[in-house]
Amino acid sequence: MARTLPLLRDWNRSYWTSGEDGHLRFQHCTACDRLQHPPAPVCRSCGDDTLDLRAVSGRATVQGHTTTMRPEPYVAAVVAIDEDPSIHLTTNLVGVDPEVVEVGLRVQVTFEQDDDVWLPMFEPLDDGPGQLVDEDLEKLRSVRPMARTDKFEDHVALTGIGRSEIGRKLMRSPPSLTVDAFRAAVADAGLTMADVDGLST
């Protein structure tokens, strides 16, 4: 069966091609020093747009898995990377008997090239069982908790209008244009990004 490959765009190309030199890379926010995945135009933690790339060790721990037996055994797993266990990758496990795959298995990234994409997969590491991620840990939350239960939108609406550049050949990604319009609307409303909890589209 033919594999469907990801469409390479400006904001995701670095992830899907980083395996060319054998290193797994993620977006890194220089403002709050956090990794994030999948790629985005701004940091999901602090909203800053000063993002670069950071290579990681490629080591991870299996958090969950499932095996499809037909036409041949095929193991899909969710792994948490060592540098930031809040980053989970849905991937394939290779080079391992499906019968011995278990939650807590330590794994290491390996890459399989398909056209101009390097697909990250994981194979077993022989360094003992890994630690499971506690999903209740506040530090792993990807969404900020509510500041209060009495929501201001129940009493008032603050509005603003913003737009991005418009053109057919801007050579910019749609998400980055969305961010521009969003920032302009926030400023027009007399707010700052620190006042905003999220974006609904």
Alpha carbon distance 174, 32 (integer Å): 24
Q: What is the pLDDT along the chain (201 residues), one digit of tens a residue?
A: 567 888 888 778 888 898 889 899 999 999 999 999 988 888 888 888 898 999 999 999 999 999 988 778 889 999 999 999 889 999 999 998 888 898 889 999 999 998 889 999 999 987 766 666 665 444 444 455 666 777 766 787 788 999 999 988 888 888 889 999 999 999 999 999 888 887 777
Domain boundaries, the chain: 13-140, 152-193
In CATH, the architecture of 13-140 is: Beta Barrel (2.40)
Q: What share of the chain is helix, strand, coil (3-state, %, to 5)?
A: 20, 30, 55
